[in-house]
């Protein structure tokens, strides 16, 4: 993916979210300093006091969901300024935890938090940034993995397209020889349906996967349904757990509770 500049101009931005993905970029520490010698980070409000908000960008990284009209305007402006746009974090790619709020009417939530006086709010349904403008690369994770961010940045610097794991978390879990949380503990573990790249962090610490990296590609849902059903774990329980981090996707897939309650 050529970006055609000896020292590319880069921007890093956050929409609505916890800013955890930007923090992970900061946490790259020494590697980030080395990257900063090869790229010109001109617009990053979290890390710099002086920013160029109008510069044309070779690469922009965006985290978060579109949850306000201002988010959408900002996102469209960033897309218009950038040659290559990279979504960082599960919120930007799949909707993440902020999209859970869509289950409750916004008016109810706004009243609960701000009481009656809330004319400044311009909220919209919380949806992943990738629903609104074209992205060139998507890097899920809640938060992202530092090694994956560095791989993307280094690949872009040499003009190639980074490759990511397409296997589910179970694959990484098996290579670590962990005890399976489903088979041995009858727990609801989302590893078989979740995109790998985290090194199966949770099962490696004795905790079931919550699906924070979003759906894996080409998941065999029928086999999963049978596997969980054999252990008296309903598909509804699995779907509800996966929905925590990728609700908009599951809604699109039609895996809402009513639909799976019957035969599954
Ligand atoms: S513990 Fe979870 S991630 Fe590991 S093999 Fe079992 S289902 Fe897969
Ligand atoms: S094991 Fe699952 S919940 Fe834990 S970090 Fe990996 S994808 Fe996220």
pLDDT the model gives residue 264: 44
Residue whose CA is at the smallest distance from ligand 1 atom 6: 180
Residue whose CA is at the smallest distance from ligand 2 atom 8: 212
Distance 164 CA to ligand 1 centre (A): 20
Measured over the CA atoms of residue 243, residue 246, residue 247 and residue 249, the dihedral's sign is negative
Query: CB of 88 within 8 A of CB of 62?
Result: yes
Query: CB of 87 within 8 A of CB of 129?
Result: yes
Evaluate: CB of 157 within 6 angstroms of ligand 2.
Answer: no
As a CATH number, domain 9-157 is 3.40.50.700
pLDDT the model gives residue 256: 52
Evaluate: CB of 200 within 6 angstroms of ligand 1.
Answer: yes
Evaluate: CB of 195 within 6 angstroms of ligand 1.
Answer: no
Distance 190 CA to ligand 1 centre (A): 7
pLDDT the model gives residue 24: 98
pLDDT the model gives residue 254: 63
Q: Sketch the domain layout of the chain as residue ranges.
A: 9-157, 169-261
Query: CB of 83 within 8 A of CB of 92?
Result: no
Distance 19 CA to ligand 1 centre (A): 29
Distance 249 CA to ligand 1 centre (A): 22
Distance 209 CA to ligand 2 centre (A): 5
Question: 254: burial class by Cβ within 10 Å (0-12, 13-18, 19+)?
Answer: exposed
pLDDT the model gives residue 120: 76
| 29 vs 75: CA distance, rounded Å | 27
Per-residue pLDDT of the chain (264 residues; tens, 9 = 90+): 667 668 999 999 999 999 999 999 999 999 999 999 999 999 999 999 999 999 999 999 999 999 999 999 999 999 999 999 999 999 999 999 999 888 889 888 888 888 877 777 888 999 999 999 999 999 999 999 999 999 999 999 999 999 888 899 999 999 999 999 999 998 999 999 999 999 999 999 999 999 999 999 888 888 888 888 888 888 888 888 888 898 888 776 665 544 544 444
User: Cα separations (Å) of 203 from 67, 152, 189?
Assistant: 32, 26, 9
Evaluate: CB of 180 within 6 angstroms of ligand 1.
Answer: yes
pLDDT the model gives residue 30: 95
Q: What is the pTM of this model?
A: 0.91
**Ligand 2: nearest atom to the Cα of 198:** 6
Q: Beta-strand (E) ranges in 129-223?
A: 137-139
Distance 182 CA to ligand 1 centre (A): 6
Structure tokens belonging to residue 244: 């925590």
**Ligand 2: nearest atom to the Cα of 209:** 2
Place of tokens 């599954």: 264
């Amino acid at each position: 993916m050529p970006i055609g500049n000896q020292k590319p101009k880069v921007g890093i931005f956050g929409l609505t979210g916890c800013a955890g993905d930007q923090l992970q970029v900061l946490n790259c520490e020494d590697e980030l300093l080395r990257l900063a010698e090869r790229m010109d980070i001109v617009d990053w409000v979290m890390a710099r006091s002086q920013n160029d908000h109008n510069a044309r960008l070779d690469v922009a990284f965006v985290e978060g969901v579109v949850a306000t009209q201002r988010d959408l305007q900002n996102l469209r402006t960033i897309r218009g300024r950038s040659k290559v746009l990279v979504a960082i974090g599960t919120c930007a790619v799949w909707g993440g935890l902020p999209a859970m709020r869509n289950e409750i009417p916004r008016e109810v939530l706004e009243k609960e938090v701000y009481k009656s006086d809330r004319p400044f709010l311009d909220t919209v349904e919380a949806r992943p940034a990738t629903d609104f403008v074209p992205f060139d690369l998507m890097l899920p994770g809640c938060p992202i993995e530092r090694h994956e961010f560095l791989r993307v940045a280094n690949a872009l610097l040499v003009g190639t397209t980074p490759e990511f794991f397409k296997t589910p978390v179970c694959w990484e879990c098996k290579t670590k020889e962990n005890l399976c949380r489903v088979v041995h503990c009858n727990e609801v573990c989302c590893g078989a349906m979740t995109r790998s790249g985290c090194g199966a962090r949770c099962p490696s610490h004795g905790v079931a996967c919550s699906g924070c990296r979003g759906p894996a590609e080409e998941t065999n849902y029928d086999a999963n349904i049978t596997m969980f059903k054999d252990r008296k774990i309903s598909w509804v329980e699995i779907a509800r757990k996966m929905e925590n981090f990728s609700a908009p996707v599951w809604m699109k897939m039609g895996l809402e509770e009513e639909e799976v309650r019957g035969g599954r």
